Structure 1
Amino acid sequence: MTALSPVATAPRLGGSRQLAGTGALLRLALRRDRVMVPLWVLLVGGTTASAANTLGELYNTPAERAGVVTSMTANSSLRSLYGPVFNDSLGALVAWRYLAFMAAFAAIMSLIIVVRHTREEEETGRQEMLSAAMVGRRAPLTAALLVALIANAGIALLVVLGLAGEGTGGALALGLGIGGVGMVFATLAAVMAQLTETARLAKGAAAGVLGLAWVLKAAGDAAEADGSHVLTWLSPVGWAENLRPFADERWAVLLLIVAAVLVQGVLAYVLTGRRDIGMSFVPARPGPANGRLATAGGLAWRLQRGSLLGWGIGFLVTGVMFGSMTEGAADLVGDNAQTKEMLARLGGQAGVTDAFLAAMISMLGMVAAVYVVQSVLRLNGEETSQRGEPILAGAVGRVRWAAGHLAIAFGGAALLMLLAGLGFALGHGRQTGAIVGGCLALVPAIWLIGAFAVLVYGLLPRVAVLGWAYAGVSLGLGWLGAAFGLPDWALKLSPFEHLPKLPGNAMEWGPFAALLALAVALTAVGLAGLRRRDIQTG
């Protein structure tokens, strides 16, 4: 089936034929994302909206809030993580503590949505079938951007409704800042989807830009306490910070966000009209004339090595950054009893320094769970795109095919935690053995989450996305459970809560071995299911 004609014979950019079928594609996309989008909206918007209650309990007097402002202004390490704080009001503290992180989450949500409904649809061949009917050339891109707009608008609405009591203008600025950054990366992902040949590359390129934006923001915030450094202004996340919610809002900064969205959106629309469906402006390089991949494991390594390299660099750098700000964390906590209690729940009952290290190690362990699920479910992507079927048609068995990807997933997760530990040790300069051991002690919990993804993929491949559910629950409980004071039985739903919080506490080998055995068992059941079921055909 041939693609539509090039732009030379196509109607003008704004022609109605170019957008024919947008409504139907939008309804289809919303139906497909009827679980994912609401969960993202509730996670990002709901967390921010409820933050005032949490921070109000931690810093319940003007003196305590003023102390936080003073400490953050003087602490460049923590400022690089959270950003500058512009006011000692409760709303301003919410913006300081949550804006950058929630903006990054909104960006991740947006790039996933856009690539999912553009390049991924082309990669599977579904878009070519739709385009053979009454569907305009730019309708899929328009539908994808509309889904992203709806999701980011939902986040902004929740933020405004939840924080309006602290000041309507500040709540609106915070909501628009988070949602605006989401739309910047939605349109960036739309451009990447035109330039790259695969959904994986499009997501990776957009995520790489997000990582660069975060690094620029962190460097700029560390250099200047008022967000005025040029590096901060080079980052979309820095733009959101400089809106200054709840602190004499700078509404003109919104023009930067709007301009970025419009420029990138127009560029994506122009590019999508100048290529054939399934093609790209930066095609993949041809392979060598003679094949070099002798095994299924070699192919899995070839497919996943770039992702592992990017994750590894990120964990090492993040470990160094967190390690370097460890001493500053004790100064920030000071004599605040509520903060010490929350940090103790996150990082154990040791001193503030060890508790902070344990809390940051736990956070990276939860992020590593995202990597392991992503790597495991690469199997599902290979299967549904029909790239795995030719391999399985030969002498390669299903378990052997899957084993290559699983070795990279589970081995890569352990490697990430090792790199994180080395980074912490480099940044902190002390307790090298204890810190590295604390990172590696979380590996069974990470593997258990990956094993659950293997189980779902092996037994119920059409709902393999449920593999992300357990990872999401574990992340939510780990990041928000202690802050919201959830009971212990709820926190225990996360495998990380069954392991000791190191450094600062004694190692417990019983839970370590139990989680490891359970991970092996779930993986074995998942592989057994893969051997017995039919292979999907897209």
Structure 2
Amino acid sequence: MTTATSAPEVPAPAGPAAGGNALAGTRTLIRFALRRDRIRLPVWILALFLGTLATANSFTTLYSSPEDRANAVRSMDSPAGLAMSGPRHYLDDYGFGSMLSHQMLGFMAVLVGLMSVLIITRHTRAEEETGRAELVRSTVVGRHAHLAAALSVAVLADLTLALLLAFGLAGLGTEGIDTAGSLLYGFAHAAVGLVFAAVAAVTVQFTAHTRGASGMALAVIGLAYVLRAAGDSGANDALSWLSPIGWVQRSYPYVDDRWWPLLLCLVFAVVCAAAGFVLSTRRDVGAGLRPEKLGSPTASDALATPLGLALRLHRGTLIGFGAGLFLMGAMYGSILGDAEEMLKGIDEIQEALARLGGAGIAESFASMVMVVLAVVAAVYVVMAALRPRSEETAGRAEPLLATGLSRTRWVGGHLAVALGGGTVVLLLAGLGFGIAGAASTGDGSLLPKLVGAALAYAPALWVTVGVAVVLFGWFPRASQAAWIVPVYAFVVGYLGQILRFPGWMNNLSPFGHVPRLPAADMNWLPLLLLSLTATGLVWLGLTGFRRRDLETK
């Protein structure tokens, strides 16, 4: 007896194979991205929102009288002051609203741009670099779904921030901060965020590496800020019109309330996003449009060592932060000569400067600025100290440690770059600050003073590295908590001086124990204790890493 059998019917392929839907699965990827960023995005948005509200509230105290605001106009009406803030037109009627837009909009545009860039690179290029995108796209997911989902998440984040700012500022009830201006102010943030998100949608197509894509997009943000600063501080206003940051600043919230400059941002964002989609069709998944350079068939002697490999991996970030901090220091140094005029009549800042040691205005102001430069350097050392965690989760650490390379030597290479590189970027920040500060004040002795003041923060950076290593070694899933150190240092060390936070809050930060040079006298004991603390934390973190299991793929 024979039995006839028939093969089961194979379902027709769905998704792209059936209908060629390049956006199939976008909604699912949006939900997935929002779940992955359920902590990251709220922290970003709330930090930007609360920081703006705190600044707006502080203006009513710092510039409470018309005389104070008149002094602020005189201090800002200089090329250096306008380069640090925005167009001069805001100074024509310098109320609390125009003051907020003038001093904060350009600075916030950089931060919103940074948030948007990181959203795009995290959910596109990082997914391809780790191989997850190829796995996901082997299912019913269209070619453009990842980029569309990332842009959608960036749009949601920017619009959420815009609405929070609009209603939050309007609800303050501050004179000069009305509802119409607050709506424009909020949506100006969304507009510039969309521009830089779209720029990142293009940069992720060129390189196969997340850091390279982020670096190119951040370079565009830096160029936009420099063009804006050059146009606002000089006679050639046309330079500012080449910058998206200049566009949103020229919407003049609380002054003229012009909406049409935001349309320039929208058009530019649409063009860049469309270009990103088109370019994505001209490359393979995981590859970039820019061809990889052929390397040497044999590694150099330096590259064959843990330190040499780590330096090669970190060199782009190190160069970028070094150049950025040098320029940032130079920008602050250029206004050091006008510090006394800028801060004259602002009692709260005068009192904060007096508490730093009673030195001259230039030295006291420099010591406050030095906190900001040190915190930016701390951002670099956290990124560098957490690079071993990225290598581990990406599966690149396992083949290295499967050889004769020990865990301590492997992590030690990255830590050496973090510790030494952090000191180098501090040195560059001090050099930029000192050179420009000495030129603006005519006091050549400021150069060695400011370089020394910058280097005094090196032990605090080393403690920051130690905290990151402890988290990486013992609690790898909580490694991102290391970012609390620089954020807390900025809030307490810089804003706390003006808002008079309790002294014990400053003592919780390693940066709070550094002598506030050049205003205060040098004290070596805190620096020695910080160095010993950093040594102990690094040893503790390495001990934990040697004892725990490696995350494998």
TM-score by length of 2: 0.91
CA distance in 2, matches of 1:209, 1:442: 29
**Relative to 1, partners in 2 of residues 1:536 and 1:261: Cα closer, same or farther, differing over 3 Å?**
same
**Residue of structure 2 in register with 1:92 after alignment:** 98
The one-letter code of the counterpart of 2:379 is V
**Residue of structure 1 in register with 2:238 after alignment:** 230
**Residue of structure 2 in register with 1:216 after alignment:** 227
Quote how far apart the aligned CAs of 1:491 are. 2.8
**Relative to 1, partners in 2 of residues 1:349 and 1:33: Cα closer, same or farther, differing over 3 Å?**
farther
**Residue of structure 2 in register with 1:186 after alignment:** 197
1:76 aligned to 2:86? Answer: no
**Residue of structure 1 in register with 2:263 after alignment:** 255
Moved more, 407-416 or 308-317: 308-317
CA contact (8 A) 2:283 2:289 kept: yes
CA distance in 2, matches of 1:11, 1:218: 50
**Relative to 1, partners in 2 of residues 1:98 and 1:443: Cα closer, same or farther, differing over 3 Å?**
same
Q: 1:485 aligns with which of 479, 495, 500?
A: 500
Residues 336-355 of structure 1 mapped to structure 2, 5 A cutoff: 336-344=346-354, 349-355=358-364
Query: Percent identity among equivalent residues?
Result: 42
Quote how far apart the aligned CAs of 1:229 are. 0.9
1:358 aligned to 2:378? Answer: no
Residues 496-515 of structure 1 mapped to structure 2, 5 A cutoff: 496-515=511-530
**Relative to 1, partners in 2 of residues 1:469 and 1:32: Cα closer, same or farther, differing over 3 Å?**
farther
1:198 aligned to 2:198? Answer: no
Q: 1:110 aligns with which of 109, 116, 119?
A: 116
Quote how far apart the aligned CAs of 1:276 are. 2.0
Residues 412-431 of structure 1 mapped to structure 2, 5 A cutoff: 412-429=421-438, 430=444, 431=446
Structure 2's unaligned 5+ residue stretches are 1-14, 439-443
1:276 aligned to 2:284? Answer: yes
**Relative to 1, partners in 2 of residues 1:42 and 1:480: Cα closer, same or farther, differing over 3 Å?**
farther
Residues 416-455 of structure 1 mapped to structure 2, 5 A cutoff: 416-429=425-438, 430=444, 431-455=446-470
Deviations 1:57-90 (A, max 9, x none): 00001232133123312x2112211223513110
CA contact (8 A) 1:78 1:329 kept: no
**Residue of structure 1 in register with 2:490 after alignment:** 475
CA contact (8 A) 1:232 1:239 kept: yes
CA distance in 1, matches of 2:498, 2:163: 23
Quote how far apart the aligned CAs of 1:39 are. 0.9
Q: 2:30 aligns with which of 26, 40, 45?
A: 26
The one-letter code of the counterpart of 1:185 is F
CA distance in 1, matches of 2:348, 2:100: 16
The one-letter code of the counterpart of 1:257 is C
Bigger Cα Rg: 2
Deviations 1:84-103 (A, max 9, x none): 35131101111112111111
Quote how far apart the aligned CAs of 1:125 are. 0.8
CA contact (8 A) 2:75 2:81 kept: no
**Residue of structure 2 in register with 1:457 after alignment:** 472
The one-letter code of the counterpart of 2:25 is G
**Residue of structure 1 in register with 2:406 after alignment:** 397
The one-letter code of the counterpart of 1:78 is G
Residues 59-74 of structure 1 mapped to structure 2, 5 A cutoff: 59-73=63-77
Quote how far apart the aligned CAs of 1:53 are. 1.2
CA distance in 1, matches of 2:26, 2:233: 45
Quote how far apart the aligned CAs of 1:325 are. 1.2
Residues 21-170 of structure 1 mapped to structure 2, 5 A cutoff: 21-73=25-77, 75-85=78-88, 86=90, 87-164=93-170, 165=173, 166-170=177-181
CA distance in 1, matches of 2:85, 2:509: 26
CA contact (8 A) 2:408 2:542 kept: yes
Structure 1's unaligned 5+ residue stretches are 1-8
The one-letter code of the counterpart of 1:220 is G
Question: Which SS does the other structure have where 2:379 is aligned?
Answer: helix
CA distance in 1, matches of 2:371, 2:292: 37
CA distance in 2, matches of 1:341, 1:169: 35
CA distance in 2, matches of 1:342, 1:38: 32
CA distance in 2, matches of 1:35, 1:315: 29
CA-based RMSD: 1.9
Question: Which SS does the other structure have where 2:21 is aligned?
Answer: helix
The one-letter code of the counterpart of 1:72 is M
1:246 aligned to 2:257? Answer: no
Question: Which SS does the other structure have where 2:108 is aligned?
Answer: helix
Quote how far apart the aligned CAs of 1:137 are. 1.5
**Residue of structure 1 in register with 2:6 after alignment:** none
Moved more, 286-295 or 467-476: 467-476
Deviations 1:489-510 (A, max 9, x none): 2233222112111101111222
CA contact (8 A) 2:493 2:506 kept: yes
**Relative to 1, partners in 2 of residues 1:56 and 1:11: Cα closer, same or farther, differing over 3 Å?**
farther
Quote how far apart the aligned CAs of 1:343 are. 4.4
**Residue of structure 2 in register with 1:516 after alignment:** 531
Moved more, 35-44 or 149-158: 149-158
The one-letter code of the counterpart of 1:375 is A
CA distance in 1, matches of 2:120, 2:486: 22
Question: Which SS does the other structure have where 1:373 is aligned?
Answer: helix
Quote how far apart the aligned CAs of 1:245 are. 1.0
CA distance in 2, matches of 1:509, 1:219: 41
The one-letter code of the counterpart of 1:67 is N
Quote how far apart the aligned CAs of 1:306 are. 2.1
Quote how far apart the aligned CAs of 1:157 are. 1.6
CA contact (8 A) 2:368 2:494 kept: no
CA distance in 1, matches of 2:100, 2:279: 39
CA contact (8 A) 1:62 1:88 kept: no
CA contact (8 A) 1:197 1:283 kept: no
Deviations 1:116-155 (A, max 9, x none): 0110011111111111112221111111112111211122
**Relative to 1, partners in 2 of residues 1:349 and 1:10: Cα closer, same or farther, differing over 3 Å?**
farther
Q: 2:316 aligns with which of 306, 314, 318?
A: 306
Quote how far apart the aligned CAs of 1:443 are. 0.9
Question: Which SS does the other structure have where 1:18 is aligned?
Answer: coil
Quote how far apart the aligned CAs of 1:516 are. 1.3
CA contact (8 A) 2:121 2:210 kept: yes
**Residue of structure 2 in register with 1:6 after alignment:** none
